[in-house]
């Protein structure tokens, strides 16, 4: 999945004004009649729901709008350059890429149809007819067109989801997403089967919530290990995080350590993720009996946390989790 790209955008230059004089029979000393040049085309970003990645923008690194046309005789205006429309997926953030040491956000394109003019076309130059005065009745000067804006921009795609699933590889996130939303993510019994974020829609009582599942996090992910850190930006705008922690049979402390490791990596990332409301889910609860499940839950309860045991295989706890998620995203305040 291509979710980050740097491109150069160049708006069109304004067309030069014309230096021209009337040459008509029976019109002595016809005077200047040079027309103005046309305006250069703008470069406009357009958010569309028809795109899911920024892959199309990797085909070239520079995008330029047409220049304005030169002015003509008989005070004819030059044609304006057409605007260049660059289509991007909904959820694309635009950053100023001119200074690599400073990441300044320019615009956030969230909704289908949102637009932003990222580079303005240059104004066309005035023709010599504009400069005729009583003391200079035959000016031989016209303005050149002004150059259009040129800049480097960084585009980042951040999925628009209300609920984000985070956890280690093979924690059961993709299976849980499938059970909750009927999405069809890739599921297999080996690490890193999720190579890009998956989206699904949770529907309950005529309400909908969009969920995102990102690739699994491993220790050191915040420093670039594994795949998940690359996609943490996708849960930056979520209302609610769901920590999917797989139960370690016979070792409740290992289950707790897995949860702590994920929290540590989230805290060290460049995004403020630990401040988000969260729900703690213990996945694969069908692997332990009732007595051990209570022991697993007690480890979290003793530390003041409420954990919700679920099994995607047997559907145990799924309905309870759905109700919690719907309630928490209706008013995402506080933390479980």
pLDDT for 161 beyond 80: no
**CATH superfamily membership of 4-157:** GTP1/OBG domain (2.70.210.12)
More confident residue, 99 or 206: 206
Q: In terms of Cα–Cα distance, which of 71, 72, 73 is closest to 21?
A: 73
Q: Where are the domains of the chain?
A: 4-157, 163-330
Which range has highest mean pLDDT (187-196, 209-218, 248-257)? 248-257
Residue 132's pLDDT is: 87
pLDDT for 297 beyond 90: yes
Residue 100's pLDDT is: 64
CB 155 within 8 A of CB 4: yes
User: Tens of pLDDT along 14-23?
Assistant: 999 999 988 7
- Give the CA dihedral 210, 171, 294, 311, nearest 10 degrees: 60
Which range has highest mean pLDDT (97-106, 190-199, 272-281)? 272-281
Residue 332's pLDDT is: 43
User: Tens of pLDDT along 164-188?
Assistant: 888 888 888 888 888 888 766 444 4
Report d(CA 249, CA 289) in Å as an integer: 9
75-108 burial, b if ≥16 CB within 10 A, otherwise e?
Answer: bbbbbbbebbebebbbbbbbbebeeeeeeeeebe
CATH 3.40.50.300 assigned to 163-330: yes
Residue 229's pLDDT is: 56
The structure tokens 């009996």 sit at: 289
Tokens, residue 44: 């406009």
pLDDT band at 116 (very low <50, low <70, confident <90, very high): very high
pLDDT averaged over the chain?
84
Cβ neighbours, 10 Å, residue 186: 10
| Average pLDDT value for residue range 272-284 | 88
Tell me whether domains 4-157 and 163-330 share a fold.
no
| Average pLDDT value for residue range 55-69 | 92
Residue 147's pLDDT is: 96
Output the pTM of the full model. Answer: 0.69
What percent of the chain has pLDDT above 70?
84
Q: In terms of Cα–Cα distance, which of 297, 192, 208 is closest to 247?
A: 297
As beta bridge partners, residue 46 has: 87, 115
Query: Coil, helix or strand for 80?
Result: coil
What percent of the chain has pLDDT above 90?
45
Q: In terms of Cα–Cα distance, which of 188, 180, 130, 203 is closest to 281?
A: 180
pLDDT for 191 beyond 50: no
User: Tens of pLDDT along 196-207?
Assistant: 567 788 888 888
Report d(CA 334, CA 181) in Å as an integer: 25
DSSP string, 131-155: G--SS-SS----PPPPPPPEEEEEE
CB 110 within 8 A of CB 116: no
CA distances from 179 to 97, 172, 176, 250 (A): 40, 11, 5, 26
Residue 170's pLDDT is: 80
Kind of pairing between the strands at 92-96 and 62-64: unpaired
User: Tens of pLDDT along 221-237?
Assistant: 445 444 455 667 767 77
pLDDT band at 334 (very low <50, low <70, confident <90, very high): very low
Report d(CA 162, CA 204) in Å as an integer: 15
Q: In terms of Cα–Cα distance, which of 65, 67, 107, 103 is closest to 86?
A: 65
Residue 172's pLDDT is: 84
């Amino acid at each position: 999945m291509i979710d980050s790209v740097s491109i150069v955008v160049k708006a069109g230059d304004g067309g030069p004004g014309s230096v021209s004089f009337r040459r008509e029979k029976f019109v002595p000393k016809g005077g200047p009649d040079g027309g103005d040049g046309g305006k250069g085309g703008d470069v406009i970003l357009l958010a569309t729901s028809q795109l899911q990645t920024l892959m199309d923008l990797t085909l070239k690194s520079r995008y330029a709008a047409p220049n304005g046309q030169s002015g003509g005789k008989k005070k004819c205006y030059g044609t304006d350059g057409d605007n260049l429309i660059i289509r991007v997926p909904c959820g694309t953030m635009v950053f100023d890429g001119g200074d690599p040491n400073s990441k300044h956000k320019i615009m956030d394109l969230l909704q289908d149809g949102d637009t932003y003019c990222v580079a303005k076309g240059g104004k066309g130059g005035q023709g010599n007819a504009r400069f005729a005065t009583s003391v200079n009745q035959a000016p031989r000067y016209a303005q050149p067109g002004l150059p259009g804006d040129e800049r480097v921009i960084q585009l980042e795609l951040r999925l628009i989801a209300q609920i984000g699933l985070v956890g280690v590889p093979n924690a059961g996130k993709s299976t849980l997403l499938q059970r909750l939303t009927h999405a069809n993510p890739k599921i297999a019994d080996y690490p890193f089967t999720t190579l890009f974020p998956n989206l699904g829609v949770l529907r309950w009582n005529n309400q909908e919530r969009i969920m995102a599942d990102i690739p699994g996090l491993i220790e050191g992910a915040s420093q670039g290990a594994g795949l998940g850190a690359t996609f943490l930006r996708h849960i930056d705008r979520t209302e609610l995080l769901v920590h999917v922690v797989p139960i370690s049979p016979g070792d409740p402390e290992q289950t707790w350590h897995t949860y702590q490791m994920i929290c540590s990596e989230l805290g060290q990332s460049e995004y403020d993720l630990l401040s988000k409301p969260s729900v703690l889910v213990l996945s694969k609860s069908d692997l332990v009996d009732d007595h051990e499940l209570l022991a697993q839950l007690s480890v979290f309860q003793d530390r003041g946390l409420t954990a919700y045991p679920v099994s995607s295989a047997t559907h145990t706890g799924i309905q309870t989790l759905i109700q919690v998620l719907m309630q928490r995203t209706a008013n995402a305040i506080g933390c479980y």
